Structure 1
Amino acid sequence: MNSKENSADGPSQKRRHGYTEQEITRRLIEAIFEQRLPPGERITEAKLAEIFGVSRTVVRASMGKLSEIGVFKKTPNLGYTIAAPSRAEARMMLDVRKMIEPGMVHSIALTRSAEDLERLNHHIATEEAARNAGDRSTLVRLTGEFHLKLAEISGNVYLVHILTQLQVLTCLAILVHAESETGCPRDEHSSIVRAIAVGDGEKAAAKMAHHLSHIADELQLDRPRPEPSLESALQWLGGLGRAS
């Protein structure tokens, strides 16, 4: 009797505790991919605990993990704010991605399986369906997840980890710095997949490099533009920046 009661209580107890730490982390990443979390805004453990129906301890663990990769910034006495990457930080992110991702797809093109191609083609079809339906939030999320899908197919857990970090931060940088909302041209991901499908590693790498350059163009990273700083702002407020 007691064993039955315990087994019956198990699932219901789990439901009452709401989301797991891993599920909360995944949902927060999805929200960033869909550009729903505004960079620079404060976000509290208490509010997230209420939304997810869990204790603040569970939320704190999730936010701690995301803080480790730079998604949240923790400030003493203020709590967490959503990262707002600077242009210099965005440039460094894309420099690292250009070092990694072309080589990654080159390798995938030489080792891809029928199952890998099925996964990629299904993802491209899902992107196209979201684009045709005008579902921009889903499309933006899917275009970000495309790069993580490739990392998963590579079979390298370290690539998955670092590209998750870089992709999430790139999404935040796009929200801060991109001057248009055109998104990725519809053929860029599919052209990478086509090169992988025929085993052309060189072409896949070139297509990926071009794609990452397009993201840099969207962020206007090559245009000289000074970063705002607290020092310059204080000078302006004190009248040093005004014309005499």
Structure 2
Amino acid sequence: MNETKPIETDPGPEDGGSTGDGKLPLLEKLRGRTEGEIRRRILQAIFEQRLPAGESITEEQLAATFDVSRTVIRQAVARLAQDGILVKSPNKGTAVASPSRKEARDILFVRRLVEPEIVRLLASAPHRFGLTELRKHLAEENEARLAGQRGTLVRLTGEFHLLLAELSGNQVLLRLMTQLQTLTCLAVLLYAEHDEACPRDEHLRIVDAIAAGDGGTAAQEMLNHLTHVEKDLKLDRMTPESSFGDAMGWLRGVPDN
């Protein structure tokens, strides 16, 4: 019987946590983690691009990693599956979602509907809606960028969008944006040709417009930003589709068309 290995999600001392051999350091076990804490840790691992799209995980692995009961793990997995972040398949177990190009386009379509209105709302009363927190978050992004902490930077650039939703005070928006941003991170893993889908100045321009109380400009800057993200993902690129029958034909020596 194979020994169950805990998944590894904690950052290490350098570059957001990767070690010299490319493996992630073991998560320090802490008893008593709640279902919510476990979900947040899994989301963080996805945001830092430590859990790749399509990666299979088991309740046994997660229970060993977090040192909690399978009951708590089932609750966390069920919630993540409900949000589309984990996918449960009959006879295949549970895996991290792997958005198709069409699904990624759909995700960004919804984001273009929602996020400009979030920043427009924040710009209507920037000092009431947490301008100081936004400036602090941008400073953390810049610190991670300057320190070369790629994993931390990827996570922070994703969390910027969640912070905007959180500052709106609308919990429905926050939950929706958590789902959309996490799936976008997985799409970035699959399709982006560059390491960073959020250039440093684009978040700054959004916050500057919010600070100026200019909702129209804030909304337009967000649209520009999301358009840039989509272009970087190359979602219109056609990739050849394969099938089991084609693979069997190739194995038999049938030439490609």
Q: State the SS of the aligned residue for 1:54.
A: coil
Alignment partner of 1:146 is 2:157: no
Q: Are the structure 2 counterparts of residues 164 and 80 from structure 1 closer, same or farther at C-alpha, using a change threshold of 3 Å?
A: same
The corresponding residue for 2:246 is 235
Structure ranking higher in helix proportion: 1
Q: How does 1:158-237 map to 2 (within 5 A)?
A: 158-223=172-237, 225-226=238-239, 228=241, 232-237=243-248
The corresponding residue for 1:7 is none
Tell me the distance in 2 between the aligned counterparts of 1:156 and 1:241: 57
Tell me the distance in 2 between the aligned counterparts of 1:188 and 1:22: 31
Q: Which amino acid aligns with 1:168?
A: T
Deviation at 1:204, TM superposition (A): 0.4
Deviation at 1:31, TM superposition (A): 0.5
Are the counterparts in 2 of residues 39 and 175 from structure 1 also a CA contact under 8 Å?
Answer: yes
Q: State the SS of the aligned residue for 2:95.
A: strand
Q: Deviations over 1:177-228 (max 9, x none)?
A: 11221432111101100000010111101100010011101110233x1463
How many positions carry a matched residue from both structures?
A: 227
Deviation at 1:166, TM superposition (A): 0.2
Q: State the SS of the aligned residue for 1:238.
A: helix
Q: Are the structure 2 counterparts of residues 114 and 48 from structure 1 closer, same or farther at C-alpha, using a change threshold of 3 Å?
A: same
- Specify which of 22, 35, 53 is matched with residue 67 of structure 2: 53
Are the counterparts in 2 of residues 42 and 79 from structure 1 also a CA contact under 8 Å?
Answer: yes
The corresponding residue for 2:138 is 124
Are the counterparts in 1 of residues 154 and 196 from structure 2 also a CA contact under 8 Å?
Answer: no
- In structure 2, stretches of 5+ residues that fail to align are 1-28
Pair member with larger Rg: 1
Tell me the distance in 2 between the aligned counterparts of 1:207 and 1:40: 32
Q: Which amino acid aligns with 2:139?
A: A
- In structure 1, stretches of 5+ residues that fail to align are 1-14
Percent of pairs identical after alignment? Answer: 51
Question: Which structure is higher in RCO with an 8 Å CA cutoff and minimum separation 6?
Answer: 1
Alignment partner of 1:39 is 2:53: yes
Q: Which amino acid aligns with 2:248?
A: L
Tell me the distance in 2 between the aligned counterparts of 1:146 and 1:228: 35
Q: Deviations over 1:49-104 (max 9, x none)?
A: 01101011101110110000111111123210111100000000000000111111
